[in-house]
Amino acid sequence: MGGDSGRSDSWGLQWACDLGDVAPVGGDMTAEVITIGDELVTGLVVNSNSAYLGRRLTELGFRVVRVTSVGDGQEEIAGAFRSVSSDVVVATGGLGPTPDDRTKDVFADVVGMRLLLDEGVLEGIRRRFAHRGMEMPQSNVRQAMVPEGSEVLPNRWGTAPGLYIQVDNRHFFLLPGVPREMKGIFEESVVSILRELSGRAIHYVLLRTTGIGESALYEKLSDLDLEKVTFLPGLEGVDIRVMWEEDDRPSALVEEIRRRAWEFVYAEGEEGMEEVVGRLLKRRSWRIATAESCTGGLIGHRITEVPGSSDYFERGVVAYSNRAKVELLDVPEKLIRKHGAVSPQVAKAMAKGIKERSGAEVGLGVTGIAGPTGGSPRKPVGLVYIGVAMPEGVWVREFRFVGERSQIKFRASQAALDLVRRAILSGEEAKIE
């Protein structure tokens, strides 16, 4: 590891490494993220790496000052590395076997290091291909070239290892761009290094809410000291993140937030609504069956994304047409003619029908208008009725969502699962007149 500050690189520009701007280990250290790839800057792929790394670096006690995305061009990558001003730099992408994977080459050129063949890395790549019954292509040799003095960070999920390089007092981590590989290496190898560097850690409690907007939630909490509180709205709802350092846990604040927003808090931590509902069903040894119209099977998909969901998911029916509702769910045809397919009466009948046909303890029925067409002044786009049939009775709720078709479908699925959660927990009636 090494290199001199103020060196000139082969691009004829000065390498910006002013040691006076670098915090000592254990101080208020800064960090930045560089994500590399044409697919990111052109919008072909959602840049989830930057969000993940920004959050994790903050939790580990670093002050994240910048997130940069650049394409695969060598000048763009070089410019990103030259402009760094933080103690820790995490770069993702450009470590593959093809000629446009230039991250290591450009980085080594910028900091004045040679790339050397690491025989251990090369052998690991060969073994990975052999395990699949394949011969390693010659192009993969590129992935075994590492900057001199770097520490190799093993990749158990792919062929491109991560790299840790210290240049003077700056710490660089080069990681693959594939999110699964990046996260695996980060958690398995990078976190321990960063903890030593930071000497501190940021802790947080995440309270997940749904069924209430950000403004309304803020109004409920506005008289509290919210300096350590962040509101994070999304399709699932609004997450409340309360952060603190070391032993300064604001327990009273967390409890007060939980008390005021109890009706809308469905989880503490990263657990999703489908996991919460699955856990509640499993705890009661209950099964659920779903009858979906406007959500098109999305609820069943979300439930079955949870490992072990076969313990409580009985079946799912997508009854999109009126005929399907009649034939598969025993919804009376005259009920549809009288009230329309999008109505509380039909949602109730769908929930009862799937429960009775399946023998499950919980039946869920969803009908609505996802748009962008099909709405009317009386029944606009975004109108959704959700019914939950349980041993105690049938609960029906009306919802009005806004957004694009896919957003309305997801919000309807979230509301449906939340209604199941509420019905299981409280049994309180929530009928629509």
pLDDT at 244: 83
Helix axis angle for 405-426 and 273-283, nearest 10°, is 30
pLDDT at 28 over 90: no
Instruction: DSSP for 256-309, please give it.
Output: HHHHHTTTTEEEESS--HHHHHHHHHHHTT--EEEEESTTTTHHHHHHHTSTTG
pLDDT at 18 over 60: no
Q: Exposed, middle or buried: residue 428 (CB in 10 Å: 0-12, 13-18, 19+)?
A: exposed
User: What residue ranges do the domains of the chain occupy?
Assistant: 19-198, 202-268, 274-426
- CATH class assigned to 19-198: alpha beta
Please state, in angstroms and rounded to a whole number, the distance separating the CA atoms of residues 309 and 37.
36
pLDDT at 360 over 50: yes
CB 169 within 8 A of CB 186: no
CB 288 within 8 A of CB 312: yes
For the segment 361-391, what is each residue's pLDDT rounded down to a tens digit? 999 999 999 999 999 999 999 999 999 999 9
pLDDT at 247: 67
For the segment 307-347, what is each residue's pLDDT rounded down to a tens digit? 999 999 999 999 999 999 999 999 999 999 999 999 999 99
Please state which of the four CATH numbers 3.40.250.10, 1.10.490.20, 3.30.70.2860, 3.40.1360.10 is assigned to the domain occupying 202-268. Answer: 3.30.70.2860
- CATH class assigned to 274-426: alpha beta
For the segment 419-429, what is each residue's pLDDT rounded down to a tens digit? 999 999 975 44
| Percent of the chain clearing pLDDT 90 (strictly above) | 85
Asked whether the domain spanning 202-268 has the same topology as the one spanning 19-198, the reply is no
Question: Around 179, how many Cα atoms within 13 Å sit in the side-chain half-sphere?
Answer: 10
Phi first, then psi: what are they for 144, rounded to 5°? -95, 0
pLDDT at 25: 42
What integer best gives the mean pLDDT of the chain? Answer: 91
Band the pLDDT of 249: cuts 50, 70, 90. confident
Q: What is the maximum span of the chain, computed from C-alpha positions, in angstroms?
A: 83
- Positive or negative, the Cα torsion across 84, 90, 93, 98? positive
